[in-house]
Structure 1
Amino acid sequence: MNQEKINSLGDELYEALRTANSVSPLTDRESDIQIEDAYLVSQRMLSRRLELDGEKVVGKKIGVTSKPVQDMLKVFQPDFGFLTDAMERPDAAQIPIAGNLIAPKAEGEIAFRLNKDLVGPGVTEQDVLDATETIIPCFEIVDSRIDDWKIKIEDTVADNASCGVYVLGKNEVDPRDHDLPNLKMKVYKNGELHSEGLGSAVQGNPLTAVAWLANTLGEFGIPFLAGEVILSGSLVPLIPVVPGDEMSLEVEGIGSCSCKFV
């Protein structure tokens, strides 16, 4: 795919983000699009955010890691994207939907806060653990700029891994004190238990998911940097939300996170 087309698609997705409107799937229009092309489209979209809106990259994310999410979206390999400072929300945040989000869905995740750089390829689970300062209960609010979530892997990679905003809980703990594959998460919608999941839902271990992301982005020349937050993927199925919905989650032995949509 030539640079002119990459720029055009990236600008289209940036405009969709800013106007909270969706566009037709890129894979319906560009039959030859590859994941590498999609990544370059996402880079163009990100560059618009950094240059025009003054946002700063503060982390990265992996998505579509668990079988329930893959089955729901019919995307059967992980996607990857970037977090900016404008996407972070505090615990108990009120998140407006109208004019900001299109078709949001909540994901319960474990976030990693790094205190060392990680540069792939060749990053191992132990490398991730050694570079992690804390882990944090987290909601990622995914939101596709593609019509009706009709996405293939190239669509979601181009669309910054369908990321909307994310909410970090107040508690941060040392991952070395916990059995990450067996972390138990309970997610509640409007006060009622909605779903449960284990850390093993994301590629068998959240450390594995983060290592995969470090190595995948490393092949594009993108490092993980000390201080960044890395979202490791949802432990539970995606949960559609509308104004008035309240979401909360608990990770056994770690802490909680919540948000309300308005």
Structure 2
Amino acid sequence: MTTTDPSAIARALLQARHARQPAPRTWRLADVPAAYAVQDATAEALGPIAAWKVGAASPEATPGCAPLPASGVRPAGALLQGSEWQLRGIEAELAVRLGRDLTPDDENDRPRLSAAIDAALPALEVVETRLQDWRSSDPLDQLADLQSHGALIVGPPLPWRAEAPVDLRTLRVTLAFDGQPVADARGSHPVGNVLPLLGWLARHARQRGRRLRAGDVVTTGSCTGLLFAWEGAHVQATVEGVGTVDLRF
């Protein structure tokens, strides 16, 4: 029996998360708002939100996002072990941390958005899934599944400054597995500027009845593309001018 109820879909994804087994697709998502409704129900069950992920395919494309539970946000050096780490997808990213709550007045004002940031952080987004046949799964299902979020590993914060790297088209990011370089990218981020993504996310979150608050971390999309680490790998990324972050499987 196929369900379209966001709460029922969230329950199926949560059961898969806890069982560490992919969920058979017994649902149908009609549209993007339905996928976000599943996100909201999932986030309510997983506990407080400590971060968000946001990204877009191009400067003209509508971004996508997901709230990230505090339980999945970990410091550099984290050890990820257990059967839930199946894909071990890795994206190296620039994240920012808010120094104050965002207001509607901030959403379309780049100087105000920049002033609301208190730190930049190197980040590793770990991609995992609760979906069967993830590689061929519906993008709406991936969006509902917190955009395939597994964990967010953040490095030491660098105090934000006026000349901070808001334009990701000039940023160099490197990634290595067990010391072997697997990516060395400059200017490969599909959007470029951090601040429009942050403004869109603030508007979007408010429309969902949420706020971006002081202390929230926002990771802004992959600078290296998606690569897959092997079992036992030591993963290390360096965001030029910001810092280094690592994890071990």
TM over 0.5: yes
Shift of 1:163: 0.8
Instruction: Specify the code of the residue in structure 1 equivalent to 2:130.
Output: R
For 2:118, the equivalent position in structure 1 comes to 133
Question: Kindly, what percent of the aligned residue pairs are identical?
Answer: 23
Q: Deviations over 1:33-56 (max 9, x none)?
A: 111111111111122222xxxxx2
For 2:89, the equivalent position in structure 1 comes to 105
- Aligned 1:1-262 pairs, distance under 5 A: 5-25=5-25, 29-30=27-28, 33-50=30-47, 56-63=48-55, 65-66=56-57, 78-96=63-81, 98-120=82-104, 122-149=107-134, 150-181=136-167, 182-198=170-186, 201-261=189-249
Taking a change above 3 Å as real, the CA distance of residues 243 and 38 of structure 1, as seen in their structure-2 partners, is same
Give the distance between the partners of 1:148 and 1:175, measured in 2 at CA.
Answer: 43
Instruction: Specify the code of the residue in structure 2 equivalent to 1:21.
Output: Q
Q: Which runs of 5+ in 2 are unaligned?
A: none
Taking a change above 3 Å as real, the CA distance of residues 201 and 151 of structure 1, as seen in their structure-2 partners, is same
Following TM superposition, where does structure 1 have runs of at least 4 consecutive aligned residues deviating by more than 4 angstroms? none
Q: Which runs of 5+ in 1 are unaligned?
A: 51-55, 68-75
Instruction: Specify the code of the residue in structure 2 equivalent to 1:126.
Output: P
Q: Deviations over 1:94-120 (max 9, x none)?
A: 111x33233230110111110111245
- What TM-score, normalized by structure 2, do the two folds share? 0.87
Instruction: Specify the code of the residue in structure 1 equivalent to 2:119.
Output: T
- What TM-score, normalized by structure 1, do the two folds share? 0.83
Instruction: Specify the code of the residue in structure 1 equivalent to 2:31.
Output: Q
* Number of equivalent positions: 241
Shift of 1:8: 0.9
Give the distance between the partners of 1:6 and 1:214, measured in 2 at CA.
Answer: 23
Give the distance between the partners of 2:15 and 2:240, measured in 1 at CA.
Answer: 40
Shift of 1:172: 1.9
CA contact (8 A) 2:50 2:73 kept: no
SS in structure 1 of the partner of residue 83 of structure 2: coil
Instruction: Specify the code of the residue in structure 2 equivalent to 1:113.
Output: R
CA contact (8 A) 1:125 1:207 kept: yes
Taking a change above 3 Å as real, the CA distance of residues 138 and 204 of structure 1, as seen in their structure-2 partners, is same
Give the distance between the partners of 1:90 and 1:162, measured in 2 at CA.
Answer: 20
Q: Deviations over 1:40-78 (max 9, x none)?
A: 11111122222xxxxx21121114x357xxxxxxxx864
Shift of 1:91: 0.9
Give the distance between the partners of 1:155 and 1:124, measured in 2 at CA.
Answer: 33
Give the distance between the partners of 2:138 and 2:114, measured in 1 at CA.
Answer: 31
Shift of 1:202: 4.2
Shift of 1:157: 2.1
